[in-house]
Structure formats: C-alpha cells, structure tokens
Chain A
Amino acid sequence: MAQAATATLDTFPKLLRRNAAVRGGGTAFRHKDLGIWQSWTWAEVYETVRAYAVGLQTLGLKRGDKIAIVGANRPRLYWSMMAAQMIGAVPVPVYSDAIADELAYVLDHAEVSFAAVQDQEQVDKLLSVAERVPRLKTLLYDWGRGLRDYDHTHLHPIATAIEQGRLRLSEGSDVGKALDAEIEAGHGDDLSIILYTSGTTGRSKGVMLSGGRSIAAATDTVRFDNLSDADEVLAYLPLAWVGDHYLNFAQGLVAGFCTACPESADTAQADLKEIGPTFYFAPPRVFENLLTRVMIRMEDASGLKKKMFHHYIAVAKQWGEKILNGQEVPLGARLSYGLGNLLVYAPLKNALGFSKVRTAYTAGEAIGPELFSFYRSLGMNLKQLYGQTEAFLYVTAQPDGQIRADTVGPPSPNVDIRIEQGTGEVLYKSPGQFIGYYKDDEKTAETMTPDGFVRTGDAGFFEVGTGHLKIIDRAKDVSKLKSGDLFAPKYIENRLKFYPNIKEVVAFGQGEDFVSVFINIDLTAVGNWAERNNVIYGSYQELAGHPDVYSIIAGHVDEVNALLAAEPMMAAAQVRRFLILHKELDADDGELTRTQKVRRGFVGERYAPLVKALYDGSTEADISTEVTFEDGRKGVISARVKVSDARQYPATTGKAA
C-alpha cells in the first residue's frame, strides 16, 4: 500500500482506482452463474464501474441524488453502489425482503430518484409503491427474466447502462476526463451511503456515513485482523445491513480482497464450501443451526464413525482451545489432537466450508459458551465483536489469543468507550461513527452527547483485570434491586438459557430484595433425559413438576449463581428462588412476541400469584390460567407449582475460575 497516497484515499471510488492500479490483475469479485464461478479483476471492475457511472449520468443521476439498491448479493448491485459513489450520488441499500409498505417508507424518506434492483420481483414491488415514492423516476435491473414485455421508458437493464457508458467513454476523452474530475471532486466528509436500521423499535432510521470515516474504520480493522488481498469472503449477508457493507464492501476495497457472491440464497452453504473463504461472519443462530445439522447427521452415521467422532470431539473439547490459544499442552494431547484433526476436524471443517477460515466473527446476540468453544476447539479462530450501524460496525472486538464466550472484547483500535454512571449505558466515540440520522435531527441529538459520544442503548461494564467489555442488557431494561444493586434481567436469563434443558427464563427483581426466576423446561431435551432415565410422565405439566427435574434445574441455577458471584457488578443479583412453570410460554397466549421474545411485564401480571409466592417465602402456590388452543378454543389450566430455593455464593470468592 502506498503510504504517501493514503492521505488522499478518502472515498471508495478513489480506493477502487487505487486497487485497479496496484493490483489490477487480482480478483475483485466472483459470482456463480449458470453453475460456473465467473470472476472479475480489479482492473475490469474499475473499467466497468466507470462505464456504469457514465451510463448513470446519461440517465440523469447527479451528485447528491439518492439511488436505492434492492436485491441479493450480486456483483452488479455492488457495482451500482460504486458507480453511484463515483459521481457523488448516494446509494441507499434496502432490505430486499422488506414488505412493500416498509419499502415505500424508506424510499420516500430517503428521497431516492433512482433504484438499481435485482430482478422482476423487486421491479414489481417498486412499481406497486411508485405512487407513494413520487421522486422515483428511473429503475435499473440486473436480471431481465419476465421483464421483456414491461414498459421500458423508465426501466433499463444495468448491462445496457454499462454498455452506453462504455460507448460514450470510447467516443471522446472529454467524458473520461470529466469522470476523473468527478472522482477527484469526492471528499472524505461527503455522505457516502445511508444505511437504514432494521426498525425493530419504531420506524427505520437512516444512518448517514461518510466515506472518510468509513475508510478510517475499515483501515483499522483490516490491520487488526491482518487482512490482505490474499483473503476472500463470501457475501451472503443482506446488502442493506451494516455488516455486509463493512465486512465485505469497505474492508474489501481497503484490503483489496475478493468478494464472492453466491449463486442464490439457497446455495450459500454449498458455495461456501466451494469458495472456502478466509474471513467469515455469521450470527450465533447460523453457527447453532450448523452444529445441530452436524449432530443430526452424525446420529445417522455408522457405529465406527460415530465412535470416532465423539471420541475426537471430546479430545478437542479438552485441548483444542488451549492449542488454539497457544497454551502449554502435553505432547500426548497434541498428538491425539493432530490425529483427530486428520480424521475428524479437518474433514468436518471442509464439509462446513471453514477449511481456510483464518478469522471468523460472530455478533448480534449472546452466544452460548458450549457452542462457541465447539467451533474454537476444532481450530477455527472464532471471535466476538460488538458493534452497531451508528458506529459503522466495530465498537469492540476480541484480539487473537484473548477470546472468551462471555465478553465482546476490549475497544477496537481508536475507539473510546465510556460507561455512563448510574445507568451503566455504553457510550463510544469511534473513527467510523455516523454523521447523523437522515432528516431526523431530534433523534440524532438524543443519540449523540454534546461531547461527541454516541449512546448505544445497551448497558455494560468493563471486566476488572482484562478490560474486556461485557454487554448485559438493553439499558432501558436494566433496573435496580431494593438494595440499589444492578439488576439486568436479560443477562441472567441468557446465562440460564445456554443450558439445553432450559427453554425460556423470566427474571424478576426490580425493586425487590432479591432476584427470582420462572423457568420453562425444554420438552425435547428434558423429555430425552426422561426417556433415558425411565422417568415416566403424562404431560408437560407433570414433567415440569417432577422432583428430579427440579434438582437438575437447581444444579443449573447453582452454576449460574457461582458465575454471577465472580462478577463484582452482578454478585448481588444471584438467583435466590426459582420455579418451573407448568406450561410453556406461548405467543398465542400473548406471553411471547411473534419473534419469540418474552414479554416480561405481561408474564409478571398473568402469573401474579406465582410471583407473590416467589417473594413471600411459600414453598408452593396454586395458579390457574386461561390458555388458547391452536384452533382458537380457550381452556383453563390449573396447577400447584413448587417454589425452590437456590444456594447463594459470597461475592468475592466466587469459585468459578
């Protein structure tokens, strides 16, 4: 990388030009089309994007205009962003699975006049909301199937726009010079992209990011993870999500690595295996699904293979992480692990497409320690990061060698983090942080402190000794016990939910003397246990109330308490009493949201007699609740529920070490 030139590399088009000059023959993009991986070099991409940019100009796109990008990860849609940025227009990627209403809101709010979309499906969706997006004039599409008979006055194939641009560039050098001037006119402070948040809380907000800041952030993390143009990623995350724009687009342009686009969303897993990326990101859910699939397929394997698999997975569990972390390991264990790698780990990683992964990240939600260690023990460098759209992703990340399941790592390079007194909210100042919300100064002012820090809305704390950040809950859900000690319900609930036997947890404690929980057992896991141990039960209710089940759960609660005791801020919030609910929490009864999140307040009211029993010292309580069956009929379930006490650990000596 030419250091002298770095000062002026403050926009993505300039980076693209740099890549074409420095590594013109290197592969920039791949896309599997008609069963064959097609590739484009940086020089080809630069030439195509230039032509495309001129094509867009011809169609009327100007500096400052907004262009929506709707579709799956396809090279031409990435190029649409690059081409728009090249002439100073602002791409606005939109979730391709967004419903028409949501789409209309975002497109109208962002004032888009152009849209580059993937196929007929998206064209239809845009045409259906055209009335509500009066500024939208011109549509471009990548894949023309089914569009032949559409009115093409305002509808153009992307390929044609590129072709026309190429023609104009070949006609005279003026066009090329004008384009060069446009690239030069781009400044690091200019708006580079608007990313809309997914809008889980109210309407989506448009997060404005500048090129200079985006590149500064990406440059830091590229160095942090030693990414280079020898790396390769598979782009399967939604284009509109900050993760894709950061990890693939920004880092790809900064480091000059290759972005491979899968054939379709359904083939991503198979394509992963074929490409063998070196950098990989997935939310915990994906890792969990993969593990479940592996385990299910192993159940069907022959006896010998099953034995071999389980033996070596046990070896990996014992030694794998230590070897990965470079700790002292006896020679025998090293040999055994090596053999296991030959027989099990390497073939397994190959089947999953992780053979070449040097760095993998997960983020978004808490990951179970078992799940996390499983992948790490196989020798995969899986790490955690914490970030958000407003930060242009990274706030913290775990450096190699300091990896743990329960923290998100120390602050990323050049990121300042401050924990607000009282609320425990995490505030940060990062190189990539956003300029503001588009057309929403009020929200921007709410989120940004006067001294330039950004509020995350999450509460957390730094672990003493290591300086790793721990995120405990949404700040608005964090409250206090009567004693004034911190009470973070989700932190406790997640801890317990990592046990396969536990499906749902509801923690109480706001303004109370101590923390207590409702527990839902997982019928599959506990039922499986019952079968193996000849425990006979007739219903969920009976199994949930079984004394042996109570003692299993008590064991889990005990372990969690021990862990909590080891954390100064959490020690006071150990679970003192718990009960196992007689029925599964259900969205049909309004106890869960449709996305399976517990509605804590509602559950507390509905089961008020049980909550009372948790705090008045009684050992059992009667409850009858109305339930809704799947066909809509209603019935009443009555039960006597036992309340159990859990052991407490002294705060300072927590035995977990």
Chain B
Amino acid sequence: MMLHVSPTAATTGIAKGEVLLNVENVSLRFGGVKAISDVSFDIVKGEVRAIIGPNGAGKTSMLNCINGFYFPQEGHITYKGVRRQKVRPHEAASSGIARTFQNVALFKGMTTLDNIMTGRTLKMNVGLFWQLLRHGPAMREEIEHRRKVEDIIDFLEIQAIRKIPVGKLPYGLQKRVELGRALAMEPELLLLDEPMAGMNLEEKEDMCRFILDVNQTFGTTIALIEHDMGVVMDLSDRVVVLEYGRKIADGTPDVVKADQKVIDAYLGVAH
C-alpha cells in the first residue's frame, strides 16, 4: 500500500478485537416520544458493525448519540474505555469519530479537493496569524495536509473530479467525496449513515470495495447503517437489529438472518 495516511490504531492503546465503544442501556426521548429504549451493544476495534432495522427504528438516532449530536437521557456510552460525559460533536470528532450523512452534507459550491480538505480542519495547528500570512509554517502545514488529501483522492479514485464543484457531481460520486472527507480526519471509528442509498448496482459495488479497503488498509472500525441486505450480509462482521427503538437481535449476519424476530420485523406478522 502506498498510502501515507498512518493508521491511528497504534496511538490509541486499544488493540484489535477489544471493545472500542460500548453502548449500555441507552434510552433517548424527544418529549414523550421514545426514539431508543434500553439499547446495549458494543463495537469491537477493527470490525465492520452494521446497524439495521425498518424505517423509524432509531438507527440514525443511535449514530447521533454516538457522535454526540444527541445526548441520551438514560444509559452510558463508553469510548476507548472511558465512560463519556456529555460530549459535543466536535469533541467526538477530535476523539477520532467521523461520520457521513444519510443525505449528503457537503459544501456544494466547493471543489472535491476543498471539501476533503475541510476534513483536515481539526488537524490544523498553525494560528490565525500565520494562516493570514500564508507563508512559513502555514504553508508547510498546508502542503502536508494537501499530501494527505491527495492520498485519499488516489485511494478513492476520484482524481478526475478533483477540481470540480461537488454540486455538479452525480449523487454516487458525492457520496464518495463525503467518505473522503470523513477519511481525511483519520478516524478511528467511522460512522456511515446509508452509504449506498440511491446508488445503482455498480456504484454500490464500488462503495463496498472502498469500505472494505478502508477497514483492511487503515484498520478503521466501521459502524454502518444500510438497507440493502445483500450489502449488509457481505460487508459486516456483526449486525445489530433495531425495531421501534429496541434491540431485537445481535450477532453475525448468519445468526441474524435466521432470527425469527428479525424476519417478522422485516416481513411483518399477522396480529
């Protein structure tokens, strides 16, 4: 592998196969509406963990809790062995959690390159003074970040759209750029909210390959929400199934597939 992006795994002290993030009895309410009730599961370092469930099952809410967008009323989230107090999204981000969104959230008027560059913001250390001068340390840092971004562009094979404003790109490519921006943060835990939604078969296959490549090359732990069952079963090591905010199954794809509760949840049962 020619990428210079250093896997951050070495710096964390959590070894492959150990629990990276633990969700314990989490409940989340919006007023009287219970979005998540008493859900527990863990994410192990180095795995691809899928969160699936019918519409409105609380999957995105779960991701929002993990990256600090929501704060659950009950329960705890332990990350890298530390029980988390109320965190803000940017704190979650600086602790190594990156995410992509269900509906692409990029800066439409900016180029692919600049969008991915924004993923490096948290890693920029040079002060405003030097940034304004654009020389000396600021230039050196910019070059360093640009090198990392070019690695990602190369990795995702999006050289041809480097200088094109993302608003002009087809949806599948925008999704890829968004993944690029998340990767630019060199995350330890990557949260992907429906990375294949609205894609055709070929785009899905490409995306699957990139997700697996990220997981294998950088050792990045991945939690993804996805509706395409074929994709979920192929990609993930373990699957957690939510329905109406509750966990109904948890295990390897094969176990989950055979679970009667899961089948009922997806196909419906006669009441």
Q: Do A and B come from one complex?
A: yes
Report yes or no: A264 in contact with B1, Cβ–Cβ below 8 A. Answer: no
- Say whether A633 faces chain B, with CB atoms less than 8 Å apart: no
Among A249-281, those with CB < 8 Å from B are 263-264, 266-267, 270
Q: Which listed residue (A143, A266, A267, A270) contacts B2, Cβ 8 A?
A: A143
Report yes or no: A34 in contact with B1, Cβ–Cβ below 8 A. Answer: no
Binds A, one of B23-31, B149-157, B233-241, B254-262: B149-157
Quote the shortest CB–CB distance from A234 to chain B (angstroms): 15
Residues of B within 8 A of A145 (CB): 1-2, 155, 213, 217
- Say whether B124 faces chain A, with CB atoms less than 8 Å apart: no
Q: Quick one: closest A residue to B162, CB to CB? A: A35
Known interface pairs A34-B150, A35-B150, A35-B162; A144-B157 also in contact (CB < 8 Å): no
Number of interface residues of B (CB under 8 A): 16
CA distance A34 to B2 in the complex (A): 11
* Chain B 134-167 interface 0/1 with A at a Cβ cutoff of 8 Å (1 = within): 0000000000001100110111010110110000
Residues of A within 8 A of B163 (CB): 270
Q: Quick one: closest B residue to A269, CB to CB? A: B160
Residues of B within 8 A of A465 (CB): none
Residues of A within 8 A of B159 (CB): 35, 263-264, 266-267
Residues of A within 8 A of B151 (CB): 34
CA distance A233 to B25 in the complex (A): 65
CA distance A515 to B217 in the complex (A): 66
Q: Chain B's interface: helix, strand, loop or mixed, by majority?
A: helix
Residues of B within 8 A of A297 (CB): none
Quote the shortest CB–CB distance from A203 to chain B (angstroms): 30
Q: Quick one: closest B residue to A35, CB to CB? A: B150
- Say whether A532 faces chain B, with CB atoms less than 8 Å apart: no
Known interface pairs A34-B150, A34-B154, A35-B150; A148-B162 also in contact (CB < 8 Å): no
Report yes or no: B1 in contact with A144, Cβ–Cβ below 8 A. Answer: yes
- Say whether A146 faces chain B, with CB atoms less than 8 Å apart: yes
Q: Which listed residue (B147, B157, B213) contacts A34, Cβ 8 A?
A: B147
CA distance A384 to B149 in the complex (A): 43
Q: Chain A's interface: helix, strand, loop or mixed, by majority?
A: loop
CA distance A148 to B3 in the complex (A): 13
Report yes or no: B160 in contact with A144, Cβ–Cβ below 8 A. Answer: no
Known interface pairs A34-B151, A35-B153; A270-B1 also in contact (CB < 8 Å): no
Known interface pairs A35-B162, A266-B160; A144-B2 also in contact (CB < 8 Å): yes
Known interface pairs A263-B159, A267-B159; A146-B213 also in contact (CB < 8 Å): yes
Number of interface residues of A (CB under 8 A): 14
Residues of A within 8 A of B2 (CB): 143-145
Q: Quick one: closest A residue to B213, CB to CB? A: A146
CA distance A172 to B146 in the complex (A): 42
Quote the shortest CB–CB distance from A112 to chain B (angstroms): 27
Q: Which listed residue (A33, A36, A264, A270) contacts B157, Cβ 8 A?
A: A264
* Chain A 85-101 interface 0/1 with B at a Cβ cutoff of 8 Å (1 = within): 00000000000000000
Residues of B within 8 A of A264 (CB): 157, 159-160
Max chain A CB contacts within 10 Å: which of B2, B147, B153, B155? Answer: B2
Quote the shortest CB–CB distance from A212 to chain B (angstroms): 39
CA distance A395 to B25 in the complex (A): 80
CA distance A276 to B155 in the complex (A): 27
Quote the shortest CB–CB distance from B267 to chain A (angstroms): 31
Max chain A CB contacts within 10 Å: which of B154, B155, B162, B217? Answer: B154
Q: Quick one: closest A residue to B209, CB to CB? A: A146
CA distance A36 to B163 in the complex (A): 14
CA distance A263 to B147 in the complex (A): 16
CA distance A145 to B154 in the complex (A): 10
Among B189-223, those with CB < 8 Å from A are 213, 217
Q: Quick one: closest B residue to A32, CB to CB? A: B159
Known interface pairs A35-B150, A35-B153; A267-B1 also in contact (CB < 8 Å): no
Q: Quick one: closest B residue to A33, CB to CB? A: B154
Chain A residues proximal to chain B, CB less than 8 Å: 33-36, 143-146, 148, 263-264, 266-267, 270
Q: List 18 A-B contacts (CB under 8 A).
A: A33-B154, A34-B147, A34-B154, A35-B150, A35-B153, A35-B159, A36-B150, A144-B1, A144-B2, A145-B1, A145-B217, A148-B217, A264-B157, A264-B160, A266-B159, A266-B160, A267-B160, A270-B160
What 18 new A-B contacts, CB under 8 Å, besides A266-B160, A267-B159?
A: A33-B154, A34-B147, A35-B146, A35-B150, A35-B153, A35-B162, A36-B150, A143-B2, A144-B1, A144-B2, A145-B1, A145-B217, A148-B1, A148-B217, A264-B157, A266-B159, A267-B160, A270-B160
